[in-house]
Chain A
């Protein structure tokens, strides 16, 4: 109990995204969206892309949002948010927090162009990507964020490509603030949201949001899986402020990738009869490269 309250210290809980939604138990994205809304506060407009988040949180007539919510399509959240920003400027309204939000598919694949446009034009919009490493809403198909080796319904023998590096691509647009976060560290995630919202112009926050259904882990393990993603080096935590990588989270005790992979059904095929395949070594190599690159 004491542990728990210490854990939640300094965490904003305003219930702006209520728990009455229809997400699976242990859904990382549902947790992340609540943390984002509560950190941003009432003076916020959420522009959400089609995907799990939108489907589980916005059924007519009872959406979960207690802040204004705007959804139209899968690939245009950033452009719609640009329009809201333009309207606020033109009507001389505000200030207001405009947060475009979408899954990895809507962010890195089909919506990539519209995000690139929003960044490049310099809109005062925070884009939050909930990365669950596949198209979950349509039944766990591969996206360009699906990690090497992972099984999805369209990569039944394991994904053969590496994950697209969206935070770096965002930073290369010359935007002032980029950060990564996970749903096991509420305080860090909310701090980054609040910090981003103090900055004028486009911002990007990339949140690892485990999906028990698509990843094949128990819902209770969502938080633990995030910790393992960080401590293996597979998901580095950092900020990029004005183009410079800073505030890199150091790994306290490095963990071999096997420990991250094993509890997840999507990597089960890499451990036939308990013996790790050479793909596991390759994944370890990816983790090592991250550790070296970010000095984790």
Chain B
């Protein structure tokens, strides 16, 4: 049913329709409305779940770890400092192959303190062994959660659904909230693989000496690569069952004819599409490649889609300080070395700490790379605030 609803509450509704047994979270802006929404749903008796109010994100992640290891479908949500505080547990959850779903309401990282959006937080744990899916809008954010539980429970990999803080979490948009029955038909009951249960005494989380550790990492890496199939399958099953496209590996917009291709992920693709339409009217051919699954990284899909494109620009809301664009590195790595020679892949960082990314900023970027490749640039910097002596 189409509902005018805040993004966070839409996510709370669909997460509840996925019938998690255990929910545990700690409040942090801009994630709060999601867990408040779920607390209301549980409080009203609409969802039969244990809602564990913990004393930190570290414990929230540990509670869902324990719950999942005991056979429960478990869910948590966080962002920014909370995700960093969880990070030790985040690695464990993946290493232990626990199919937990987490919403990351993407936000900048301190210092300086900023509650506003960028994507540095989920990037900081990109190597932990989680599937990371990025939502473009609130419909997709909602839909991705339904898919996330299914993907997680089929692959025994945890899934992080990333949605831009405030821009999505606090936006009122019409969202189609499915009927409970549709979700029940789509998402089978969780069948755990290994659980702590006195009926089958076994150890979970054993200690691995150098004879065994590396294989666990290899297996986890391969499992993530293999999850590509599941992510695609679940996305197309979803399209069949719910009648709309959501998720998947990559998406493209006006790519075929494009002379310049912008690559990005998250809510900013909406603004990019707007610009593409404007430029089209001016006779300029620009296309979009949207990364939906950041981990596993859609290397082949990016390559296949952009084989013939010679002018590519990556726009991202995060940075590897002292190095440059993170997504840009992934994209550059997607093309065989020999083919890179005359292919330009420019890299722009934008929107850090909630800095607005306007169509004018994007126009400047696209026009600039149409003339010459850009190794790395901060988009939308306020030069007047920067002094050489501070660097």
Contact = CB atoms under 8 A, between A and B. Distances in A.
Interface string B50-80: 1011111011001111111111101000000
Secondary structure class of chain A's binding surface, majority of residues: mixed
B128 to A, nearest CB: 13
B71 A70 contact: no
Interface of B: 21-22, 24, 48-50, 52-56, 58-59, 62-72, 74, 88-89, 92, 96, 196-198, 200-209, 212
A8 interface: no
Given A60-B207, A71-B204, A113 B71 contact: no
A68 B198 contact: yes
- How big is the A interface, by class? 35 or more
Contact of B58 (A59, A76, A82): A76
**4 tightest Cβ-Cβ pairs between the two chains A and B:** A83-B66, A79-B62, A87-B70, A87-B72
A113 B201 contact: no
A76 B69 CA distance: 14
Interface stretch (A41-49, A198-206, A272-280): A41-49
Contacts of A121: 52-54
B204 A83 contact: no
Contacts of B64: 83
Nearest to A44: B198
B196 A84 contact: yes
A221 interface: no
B22 to A, nearest CB: 5
Interface in A20-43: 42-43
Contact of A55 (B58, B66, B196, B207): B207
A253 interface: no
A114 interface: yes
B59 A76 contact: yes
Contact of B54 (A91, A96, A117): A117
Contacts, number: 165
A114 B62 contact: yes
A80 B65 contact: yes
A45 B196 contact: yes
Nearest to A76: B62
B50 A86 contact: yes
A79 B49 contact: no
Given A73-B88, A87-B71, A120 B196 contact: no
B214 to A, nearest CB: 13
Contacts of A215: none
Given A79-B58, A113-B55, A121-B52, A72 B65 contact: yes
6 contacts: A58-B203, A68-B203, A84-B70, A90-B21, A91-B70, A117-B56
Contacts of A45: 70, 196-198
A85 B74 CA distance: 13
B62 A67 contact: no
Contact of A43 (B53, B72, B198): B198
A194 interface: no
Contact of B92 (A65, A72, A116): A72
A68 B196 contact: yes
Given A55-B207, A90-B48, 12 more contacts: A68-B200, A71-B203, A71-B205, A73-B62, A73-B89, A73-B92, A83-B70, A87-B22, A93-B71, A93-B197, A113-B55, A116-B55
A63 interface: yes
Nearest to A89: B50
Contact of A59 (B49, B196, B207): B207
A240 to B, nearest CB: 23
Contact of A54 (B24, B207, B212): B207
A113 B275 CA distance: 50
B186 to A, nearest CB: 22
A75 interface: yes
A136 to B, nearest CB: 15
A7 interface: no
Contacts of A59: 206-209
A79 B206 contact: no
Interface in A65-110: 65-73, 75-76, 79-91, 93, 96
Contact of B55 (A66, A68, A70, A117): A117
A80 B209 CA distance: 23
Contacts of A113: 55-56, 58-59
Nearest to B197: A68
A116 B64 CA distance: 18
Nearest to A65: B203
A280 to B, nearest CB: 40
Contacts of A81: 66
B206 A87 contact: no
B59 A117 contact: yes
B158 to A, nearest CB: 13
Interface in A125-177: none
B22 A86 contact: yes
Given A60-B212, A63-B203, A114-B58, A70 B69 contact: yes
B62 A83 contact: yes
A121 B208 CA distance: 33
A209 B43 CA distance: 44
A88 B21 CA distance: 10
A67 B50 contact: no
B22 A67 contact: no
B49 A90 contact: yes
Contacts of B49: 90
Contacts of B21: 87, 90-91
Nearest to A45: B196
Interface string A183-223: 00000000000000000000000000000000000000000
Nearest to B52: A86
B72 A86 contact: yes
B21 to A, nearest CB: 4
B67 A87 contact: yes
A73 to B, nearest CB: 6
